[in-house]
């Protein structure tokens, strides 16, 4: 195999430079009615404004090596952003913005696009999802419809008869070798005309997009999509990388995960940390549901040589908790980008044929059943984490749901500001597991700590959890 040379390295942004500026829309919200402008102006106070302020700061802080949300908000405590009304639309007045978002005093165009995408989604979620009576968020169908509408409003869903969107999951804190490998995989996917969707952050969320962009360019494909799917609680730790040209912010992690699986035509998973395991558990729990027995969705776990330990540990946890049959739902390829691309290409052709046969949409998998329990937001607290039932004696659908919540809670304790605050005030989460599950859980989590998968750039990590033996 001829490996793609990937030697480009971005310079670090300036230190503590701060900039004040007014900016006009780019990529979203360029053409607005007065009714829409009024809705944007109402963002000026209350919880919606604070949510927008935090998400906007995360976007402007893109490229940082800091993944501690609380530290970011503290460092830029004087940052503010205001929506200004104009006859033909809106502007944003920004004060004390991070200097890394600017070149010679001008905001980088991609960051400007992401900034207005955040404004679009925060306003849409506040006015059309939460404050509207259109969506019944107490029903499974209502939640799925809300996810669809947010994605459509963001321009993520396109009318196409092609199954070509590959969702890539993986860690934000990875080695250079793993990052280069993710780019190689993205490259061979891009050569096949496949588009990329990730969690939009750094590491394995950025690498496949960069590789695919080269593959697309070699095929003279200037329509490549690089879709970033985030949510307010995690965006500060994983701000959108500059490759993303379609950004969407969903209301919470559960709706974000549902968005991933409904728009995916294949899923490729690179080595990562607890967030990656949360995504795997969510996906496999859905695919194991008998209602989804005939669903086609190729799932490939892959990484460079030297990461075998990661797949062994993950596979051990999955088989111990979910049974041997779970192995039928995924393939593992180590050190083989071309093999990954060939498996994905075969898989998306099968997805294409199934969607044609069943009359389902190519852009959104309406026929996939997502259980209502998987759609319910989980806000971790010490009491809720202690109450999780991590026992092999529990029914499989309950165990996989609680395992997913356990990893979601660790993600919150690692990188989300409310979780970080609770850990600082009350100490680590406590998780109880029976002996059968304790060993694979402990092995997996210890390997994440040892290999630096919990924090960016090998930052010192103090565990936010304690396994009770």
pLDDT digits (tens, 9 = 90+) for 54-111: 889 888 888 666 666 667 778 888 899 888 877 667 888 999 988 888 998 899 999 9
The predicted pLDDT at position 194 comes to: 97
Residue 397 lies in a domain: yes
The predicted pLDDT at position 146 comes to: 95
325 near 400, Cβ under 8 Å?
Answer: no
Residue 334 lies in a domain: yes
The predicted pLDDT at position 4 comes to: 43
69 and 107 both lie in a single domain: yes
Backbone angles phi, psi at 154, to 5 degrees: -85, -5
Residue 194 lies in a domain: yes
Three-class SS state of 363: coil
Backbone angles phi, psi at 17, to 5 degrees: -60, 140
334 and 188 both lie in a single domain: yes
Residue 76 is part of a domain; what is its CATH number? 3.30.1850.10
318 and 215 both lie in a single domain: yes
60 and 112 both lie in a single domain: yes
Percentage of the chain exceeding pLDDT 90: 57
Percentage of the chain exceeding pLDDT 70: 90
Rounded to an integer, what distance in angstroms lies between the CA atom of residue 280 and that of residue 170?
10
Residue 450 lies in a domain: yes
8: confidence class by pLDDT, cuts 50, 70, 90? very low
195 and 330 both lie in a single domain: yes
Residue identified by tokens 């919990």 is: 454
384 and 271 both lie in a single domain: no
174 and 219 both lie in a single domain: yes
Average confidence score pLDDT of the chain? 88
The predicted pLDDT at position 84 comes to: 82
Identify the domain boundary among 316, 333, 358: 358
230 near 256, Cβ under 8 Å?
Answer: yes
Long-range CB pairs of 11-14 (<8 Å, 24+ gap) are: 12/63, 12/65, 12/100, 13/63, 13/64, 13/98, 13/99, 13/100, 13/101, 14/99, 14/100
322 and 258 both lie in a single domain: yes
The predicted pLDDT at position 219 comes to: 96
Model pLDDT for residues 191-234, shown as the tens digit of each residue:
999 999 999 988 999 999 999 999 999 999 999 999 999 998 88
Cα of first residue to Cα of last residue in the chain, in angstroms, is 47
Model pLDDT for residues 364-410, shown as the tens digit of each residue:
999 999 999 999 999 999 999 999 999 988 888 889 999 999 999 99
Count up the domains in the chain and report the number.
Answer: 3
Residue 141 lies in a domain: no
Which domain does 420 fall in, by range?
A: 372-468
2: confidence class by pLDDT, cuts 50, 70, 90? very low
The predicted pLDDT at position 35 comes to: 67
Residue 92 lies in a domain: yes
Identify the domain boundary among 318, 336, 358: 358
Instruction: Decide which of 455 and 292 is more confident.
Output: 292
Identify the domain boundary among 83, 99, 134: 134
Model pLDDT for residues 130-148, shown as the tens digit of each residue:
777 788 999 999 999 999 9
* 303-312, 388-397, 437-446: which is most confident: 303-312
The predicted pLDDT at position 69 comes to: 64
188 and 334 both lie in a single domain: yes
Rounded to an integer, what distance in angstroms lies between the CA atom of residue 400 and that of residue 286?
10
The predicted pLDDT at position 15 comes to: 54
Non-local (6+) Cβ contacts of 12 within 8 A are 63, 65, 100
The predicted pLDDT at position 7 comes to: 38
* pTM, to two decimals: 0.90
Residue 453 lies in a domain: yes
The predicted pLDDT at position 16 comes to: 62
The predicted pLDDT at position 164 comes to: 93
Model pLDDT for residues 241-254, shown as the tens digit of each residue:
989 999 999 999 99
203 and 349 both lie in a single domain: yes
276 and 350 both lie in a single domain: yes
252 and 182 both lie in a single domain: yes
Count of positions (residues) in the chain:
469
The predicted pLDDT at position 443 comes to: 92
Three-class SS state of 296: coil
């Amino acid at each position: 195999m001829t490996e793609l040379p990937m030697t480009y390295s971005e310079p670090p942004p300036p230190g503590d430079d701060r900039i004040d500026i007014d900016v006009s829309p780019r990529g979203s919200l360029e053409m607005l009615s007065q009714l829409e402008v009024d809705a944007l102006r109402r963002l000026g106070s209350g919880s919606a404004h604070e949510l927008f302020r935090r998400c906007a700061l995360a976007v402007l802080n893109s490229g940082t090596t800091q993944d501690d949300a609380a530290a970011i908000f503290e460092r830029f405590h004087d940052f503010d952003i205001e929506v200004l009304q104009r006859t033909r639309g809106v502007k944003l007045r920004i004060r004390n913005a991070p200097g890394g978002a600017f070149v010679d005093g001008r905001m980088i165009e991609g960051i400007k696009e992401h900034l207005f995408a955040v404004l679009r989604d925060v306003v849409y979620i506040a006015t059309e999802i939460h404050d509207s009576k259109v969506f019944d968020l107490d029903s499974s169908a209502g939640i799925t419809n809300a996810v669809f509408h947010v994605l459509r409003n963001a321009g993520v869903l396109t009318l196409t008869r092609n199954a070509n969107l590959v969702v890539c999951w993986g860690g934000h804190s990875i080695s250079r070798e793993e990052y280069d490998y993710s780019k190689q995989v993205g490259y061979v996917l891009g050569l096949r005309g496949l588009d990329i969707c990730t969690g939009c952050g750094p590491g394995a969320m950025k690498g496949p997009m960069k590789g695919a962009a080269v593959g697309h360019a070699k095929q003279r494909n200037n329509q490549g999509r690089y879709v970033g799917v985030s949510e307010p609680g995690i965006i500060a730790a994983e701000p959108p990388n500059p490759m993303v040209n379609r950004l969407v912010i969903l209301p919470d992690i559960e709706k974000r995960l549902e968005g991933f699986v409904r728009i995916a035509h294949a899923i490729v998973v690179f080595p990562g940390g607890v967030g990656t395991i949360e995504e795997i558990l969510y996906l496999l729990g859905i695919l194991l549901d008998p209602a989804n027995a005939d669903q086609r969705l190729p799932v490939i776990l892959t990484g460079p040589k030297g990461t075998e330990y990661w797949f062994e540990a993950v596979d051990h946890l999955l088989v111990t908790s979910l049974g041997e049959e779970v192995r039928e739902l995924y393939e593992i390829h180590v050190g083989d980008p071309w093999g990954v691309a060939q498996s994905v290409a075969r898989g998306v052709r099968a997805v294409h044929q199934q969607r044609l046969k069943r009359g389902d949409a190519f852009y959104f998998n309406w026929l996939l059943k997502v259980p209502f329990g998987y759609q319910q937001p989980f806000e971790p607290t010490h009491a809720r984490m202690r109450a999780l039932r991590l026992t092999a004696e529990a029914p499989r659908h309950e165990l996989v749901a609680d395992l997913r919540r356990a990893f979601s809670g660790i993600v919150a304790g690692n990188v989300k500001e409310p979780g970080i605050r609770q850990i600082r005030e009350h100490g680590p989460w406590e998780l109880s597991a029976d002996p059968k599950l304790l060993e694979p859980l402990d092995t997996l989590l210890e390997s994440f700590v040892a290999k630096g998968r919990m924090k960016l750039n090998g930052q010192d990590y103090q565990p936010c959890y304690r396994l009770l033996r």
